[in-house]
Every structure is written in C-alpha cells, then in structure tokens.
Amino acid sequence: DAGVTQSPTHLIKTRGQQVTLRCSPKSGHDTVSWYQQALGQGPQFIFQYYEEEERQRGNFPDRFSGHQFPNYSSELNVNALLLGDSALYLCASSYNGQGHQPQHFGDGTRLSIL
Amino acid sequence: QKEVEQNSGPLSVPEGAIASLNCTYSDRVSQSFFWYRQYSGKSPELIMSIYSNGDKEDGRFTAQLNKASQYVSLLIRDSQPSDSATYLCAVYSGVGTSYDKVIFGPGTSLSVIP
C-alpha cells in the first residue's frame, strides 16, 4: 500500500525563482493538504485541495498556489521565492476532505533559497 | 486566532520512566485531536487520534482529553531512547460537514536518556 509520496526530496533555488513541488496521496485518499515547516516550528497550513478545488487557505500570500489533478495528486507552486521560503514543505493526505480524519504525511521536500 | 500551545521543552526523562507531554488549545469547539511524532529531519508520523473526553490507550501510549479544560496530553510509559523525537499536537475544529483547518502546535522535544 503506497503511502504519500513527494518529489523532489531536496531543492535549491535562488531568490526570485519559481518552484513546483509534487505530491501523490496515499492510496484511497482524495484530499491533499500542504504545510510549511520552518526549523524548530510546527507545520503551518498553506492550503487544502479536495475535489480539485482549493477548499481552505492559511495565512500565505498569493505567491503560493496549487492544483489538484483528477487522480488526486497535487502540486504546490511558489513564485518570486524569498529567503524566508526556505523550509520543509510537507504534503498530507486524508480521506473525504474532513479534518477529523487523521492525515498521513509524505517525507517532505526540503527547499533551500540562496 | 485559533492557537495550539505545547511545552517547548526539551523534556528529558530517564529510560523506563513515564514521559508526559501537554497541549492546550484556544478554540472551545475543537472536536478532533491528534498526536504526531517527528524524528529529526523526518516527516510527522501519526501516533494517535482522540475525539472524546477521557483516556485512549495504544500500547505504551495513552492520550488524555479534557474538553472542559481545553487540554490534551500524551503519556509514554516505559520510555525508550527510540522515543526521542519532537511530539506535535494537532487540533481540528470543524463541525459536521463544514471544514476548518488542522492547526499544529510548535512541538515538544523529548529526550530519553539511557
């Protein structure tokens, strides 16, 4: 049973560039949430996708955007990268879009901005 | 602003002792509570979910929920060095079919000393 998979595992970019991160949910899951985790902090909610639509968004600027595909996989796009965007980006999947269902996390993408 | 707070630690306990991790939350209508374990450089791993007042046991782990006090805790019995990690408390406030986001606390770092 495949778990949540994310790619790439590591990425180095420079300020002003754009980046796309990818996530495939756990088998049987249809909901994908994205989180940003800075060093020493808890994950911060970016947004959630369910039925190919952004269901809710956290306190992140419009530079952060996403998409969900018919097969439930998802992308996170970040434009005009800033040094402060350096973090671990986590994708979590769950079933049926309800937050009371436990989420399962992928291994994350470590993004470094130079 | 809904908040989840945890003792920042680090919390150090000797091997074989009971580790007690605490979490408080601000939203009185919160319904679902989760504990995740995160090893350094890894992604969060679900340990337990709890939805009703009282205790829930799973092996060496016991989650305790008191909605009146807006407090949830995690006890780890017979602590092992392999339990050394950061423990994240997560809270979901959505009711019924309305969706809210899952909010994570900052985490508590636990160190089990052999």
Which of A93-97, B29-33, B84-88 is modeled with the greatest confidence? B84-88
Task: Look at residue B98 and tell me whether its pLDDT is greater than 70.
Answer: no
pLDDT at A96: 78
Q: How far is it, in rounded angstroms, from Cα A67 to Cα A82?
A: 21
Task: Look at residue B41 and tell me whether its pLDDT is greater than 70.
Answer: yes
Long-range Cβ pairs for the range A75-78 (8 Å, 24+): A75/A20, A75/A21, A75/A22, A75/A23, A76/A20, A76/A21, A76/A22, A76/A23, A76/A34, A76/A46, A77/A18, A77/A19, A77/A20, A77/A21, A78/A18, A78/A19, A78/A21, A78/A111
The pLDDT confidence band at residue A15, using thresholds 50, 70 and 90, is very high
Determine the average pLDDT of the residues in B42-63: 95
A30 touches chain B (CB under 8 A): no
Task: Look at residue A73 and tell me whether its pLDDT is greater than 80.
Answer: yes
pLDDT at A1: 62
Within 13 Å and on the Cβ side, how many CA atoms surround A71?
A: 7
pLDDT at A98: 67
Rounded to a whole number, what is the distance in Å from the CA of B92 to chain A's nearest CA?
6
A55 touches chain B (CB under 8 A): yes
Strands B11-14 and B108-113: parallel
> For residue A59, what is the DSSP state?
S
Rounded to a whole number, what is the distance in Å from the CA of B43 to chain A's nearest CA?
5
Interface probe with B: pick from A47, A90, A98, A100, most Cβ of B within 10 Å = A100
Determine the average pLDDT of the residues in A103-108: 94
B92 touches chain A (CB under 8 A): yes
Which residue in the set B44, B93, B106 is minimally distant from A105, CB to CB? B44
How far from A15 is each of A19, A85, A86, A111, B9, CA to CA, in Å? 11, 9, 10, 12, 34
Of the listed ranges A6-15, A96-105, B93-102, the one predicted with least confidence: B93-102
